[in-house]
Amino acid sequence: MKKEYWFIIITYISMQLSSIVGVPLFMLIGSSTGMTADELKVKSAAYWIVFSFFVALSLILFLMRNDMKEKMDRSTPASIPTSILWAFAGVFLALFAQSIAGYIEQMLGVESESENTQQLISLIYQVPIVIFVTSIIGPILEEIIFRKIIFGSLHKRFNFFISALLSSVIFGLAHGELEHLLLYSAMGFTFAFLYAKTGRILVSMSAHIAMNTLVIIFQVVYRDDIEKMLDTAQAFIGGLL
């Protein structure tokens, strides 16, 4: 693995752990704002996520400025029209993989809601700019780390299946929810497929960004409407029974 890649991985890990110091620091800075302790903690956590992700993205993009132009180990990457088509189709592939994995998890008795997702959504309600992190910055960083670097490095030594499986499991473990390892791994495998299929990291990035954005739209923007529709449907079905 290239030396720059190790610096990038260390930067990413440091960003994930930085809240240990960053959140208390932001709480100290905002202690004179008059907010309650709980409000201050939540807002400090939200603003630190935005700050740390932006800083990490800037540094990683600088370190990757030359590598981002490199394609997979194939002579000719997919054409731009084909890449756009795969980026579009990739959203549905990722959602399909997510639904299948989610169904299997439910059969195993795992709760459908992701604690990680719910925590991010609660932060979005407090500080809407966090949407920018969850929808755009997060997916870009994850595709660089887990597909461009980890999957790409593994794929130089192993076949697609082994490389995609290993990098996807690492991707799942990185989210810190072992009960949803299958769910995250399924999505990671899908994005690895898109990257390998087209040879363009922008394809898996686009699909990942679009999928996260859709999840945020349904979970935040239209959440109340969806819950009302479900309540109405349950009431209607209950009436029929």
Minimal CA–CA distance to 188: which of 167, 202, 209?
167
pLDDT of 219 reads: 73
Are 36 and 116 in contact by the 8 Å Cβ rule? The answer is: no
| Distance in angstroms (rounded) separating the CA atoms of residues 122 and 118 | 6
pLDDT of 70 reads: 56
Q: How far is CA 158 from CA 44, 52, 101, 165, 233, in A?
A: 43, 34, 25, 11, 49
Are 212 and 218 in contact by the 8 Å Cβ rule? The answer is: no
Minimal CA–CA distance to 102: which of 113, 92, 115, 93?
113
pLDDT of 72 reads: 59
The residues annotated as belonging to the active site are 142, 175
Average pLDDT across each block of 10 residues of the chain; the chain has 241 residues. List them in order.
87 92 86 77 89 94 76 69 93 91 87 74 83 92 95 93 96 89 94 94 94 82 51 40 42
- Tell which phi-psi region holds residue 72, choosing left (phi > 0), alpha (psi between -120 and 50) or beta: beta
pLDDT of 182 reads: 92
pLDDT of 93 reads: 93
Are 18 and 55 in contact by the 8 Å Cβ rule? The answer is: no
